[in-house]
Amino acid sequence: MTGPTQRTTPAVTADARAAEAMEAEQRLAEEHEAGRGRPAWGPLPRRSAPKPASPLFSLRAPISASARWTLAVLSFAIPFLAWVVLSVSGAVDSTFLPSPAAVLKAGVDMAGTGELFDDLWATTQRVLEGFGLAVLVSVPLGILMGTFTAGQAFFEPLIGLLRYLPASAFIPLLIIWLGLGEPSKIAILFIGTVFFNTLMTADVVRGVPNALLDVSYTLGARRGEVLRKVVVPHSLPGMIDAIRVNAAAAWNFVVVAELINSSAGLGYRIVRAQRFLQTDKIFAVLVVIGIAGLLIDVLLRLLRTQVGKWAA
């Protein structure tokens, strides 16, 4: 009797468990129908179709050419109108905030005597020499750091340290080393821009996809060919963008550079006007600096468009 009983016990137990499971499911179904179980999910709320958002407030949505020009004009018109209101209303004394008419008259007077054009050329020449030298050094160095890991490991720690040293702190040393002439002014512009442009160029070069390099090697290109025909063309638009950013920094540093025994230059003219509280001349020179910087930026944008039409 013991043997047959032991053989039938597992089957009986399985049947009992199955019966209990069916009973439990039936009870849950009955409770749900009677409303005593967990309530069913309610219907989703009715929502109207979303209204199409204006391209002006959509993420990265293209806008029309007319809207772009309108916004560009407003970006200048709004600050100019605020300037007119503050100066005309007398809320700010004219000694501290001259009217646009006074600034225009001061600029015309300086242009009439020729000093404005002489100062503009002197400053532009310093920017071209100092920042041009920085570009000649930083671009090859940035390509080296961005292409070769060994170059990055060797140069980046030192350049990363030097970029935090303010260029104005080198003025006493530059006067001792180079004197009070033009070389010290060019050196300030060089020191103030070369390290930043090097690191930005290296970041751009490191952004070249490895897949392009692998495909180039697979097709039989050598290291020099990959560098000339893949890395540099792919990085060129980004390198021009880095030059655009640091060109603005060069115009900032030129004012500091022209504090060193200058007899001409826009920075020199600002300091000279400050001594006699000629704020109208200061504003006029600032407007000229802004226009010159904007023209350089536009030229670099056009250059980027021509050499990197494939870039987004």
The model's confidence at residue 308, banded by pLDDT at 50, 70 and 90, is confident
Res. 54: pLDDT tops 80: no
Angle between helices 182-206 and 171-178 in degrees, nearest 10: 120
pLDDT digits (tens, 9 = 90+) for 243-300: 999 999 999 898 888 877 788 899 999 989 988 989 999 999 999 999 999 999 999 9
Q: Is there a contact between 271 and 259 (Cβ–Cβ < 8 Å)?
A: yes
Domain ranges of the chain: 127-306
Q: How far is CA 33 from the centre of its chain?
A: 63
Check residue 6 and give its pLDDT. Answer: 47
Check residue 204 and give its pLDDT. Answer: 96
Check residue 30 and give its pLDDT. Answer: 66
Angle between helices 232-257 and 115-147 in degrees, nearest 10: 140
Q: Does domain 127-306 have CATH number 1.10.3720.10?
A: yes
pLDDT digits (tens, 9 = 90+) for 115-165: 999 999 999 999 999 999 999 999 999 999 999 999 999 999 999 999 999
Check residue 1 and give its pLDDT. Answer: 44
Check residue 97 and give its pLDDT. Answer: 92
Q: Is there a contact between 200 and 246 (Cβ–Cβ < 8 Å)?
A: yes
State pTM to two decimals: 0.77
Q: Is there a contact between 216 and 226 (Cβ–Cβ < 8 Å)?
A: yes
CA atoms within 13 A on the CB side of 134: 30
CB neighbours of residue 69 within 10 Å: 10
pLDDT digits (tens, 9 = 90+) for 74-115: 999 999 999 999 988 888 888 899 999 999 999 999 999 999
- Of residues 312 and 196, the one with the higher pLDDT is 196
The model's confidence at residue 3, banded by pLDDT at 50, 70 and 90, is very low
Check residue 245 and give its pLDDT. Answer: 94
The model's confidence at residue 9, banded by pLDDT at 50, 70 and 90, is low
pLDDT digits (tens, 9 = 90+) for 12-47: 566 667 677 677 767 766 655 555 545 556 676 776
